[in-house]
Amino acid sequence: MNISRILSACGVAVSLAAPLQAADDYQLGEDSKPQAGVPQGAVEKFSFKASKIFPGTERDGWVYVPKQYDAAKPACLMVFQDGAGYMGTNGQFRATVVMDNLIAKKEMPVTLGVFIQPGTVPAAEAGQKARSNRSYEYDSLGDAYARFLIEELLPGVEKKWNVTKDPAGRCAVGISSGGICAFTVAWERPESFGKVISHIGSFTNIRGGHAYPSLIRKSAGPPPRDLSDTDKARWDARKKLRVFLQDGSNDLDNLHGNWPLANQDMAAALKWAKYDSDFKLGDGGHSGRHGGSILPDTMRWMWRDHAK
């Protein structure tokens, strides 16, 4: 009996050439791999232990400087939360490799990358574990983490390298709790960061992030009457944000909320309020596989009017 013929006669499509792609089976493309003849940027490690906004915390970070960097010209800036995961050359994102390739092809501008880890509080006594400050820093609404970057961490980078102050040339990036953190940075300080890339962002009720779709929709209207001049300027500056969101249909669903629904709600709100935004929904889970596979195209979209 020819099963294929029977199924075909019943109107069922049959493919014997290849199995269906499994969920979350995303592969990295050539722009995520080192290419012959492409100049490689340098990476410099640093540690930061002097925060007054998050007192007692310590963290490592890295600065990626592309080979094409010219101190006479302000470079664009990307700040990656959970930076070690984004920077790893054998990881799911391989951001420095992507940046090498796209900068060389002039598909994104000359851009410094700051890859920063969340803070930890060292153990008070031998044998105890250090305490992670990640959720407090990343999931919380408000301007604390934005101020940490702008007032405490980035001045050291800006002192050593020539970085643009134009918010259109500065992008915050993050995954999971780092994704909502990246959005919060730009939302709270749009005069400093005009671009956002969020992968599987935690726009759920971990620490109130489920409020963002409503806040985005209300931002399309007139500002409240009692805003200070500074806050009025920020209200207006938010309208210029460019936001990229990615999530997977098999992402988390737990007591904090449903990640795919939360990201779709965010995307719908941004679209309704006429923000410059894009949303890619794959079939992956809570991982960086999908986001990493499309990172080159994400950066092309994000920097489309800066590439030279």
How do residues 39-57 score in pLDDT, each as one tens digit? 999 999 999 999 999 999 9
- Give exposure, 21-53, as e/b (b: 16+ Cβ within 10 Å): eeebebebeebbeeeeeeebbeeeeeebeebeb
Identify which has the larger pLDDT, 5 or 176: 176
Instruction: Note if the pTM is more than 0.95.
Output: no
Cα–Cα distance for residue pair 299/303, rounded to 1 Å: 6
Amino acid at site 261: L
Q: At residue 161, does pLDDT exceed 60?
A: yes
DSSP-based three-state secondary structure for 96:
helix
Question: pLDDT category, 307, cuts 50, 70, 90?
Answer: low
Q: Render pLDDT for 172-199 as a digit per residue (tens, 0 to 9).
A: 999 999 999 999 999 999 999 999 999 9
Say yes or no: domain 42-122+129-302 is CATH 3.30.379.10.
no
The first and second tokens of residue 57, run together, are: 């915390």
Question: pLDDT category, 14, cuts 50, 70, 90?
Answer: very low
Q: How far apart are the first and last CA of the chain?
A: 62
Question: pLDDT category, 249, cuts 50, 70, 90?
Answer: very high
**Residue-range domain boundaries for the chain:** 42-122+129-302
> Is the torsion defined by CA of 185, 181, 273, 301 positive or negative?
positive
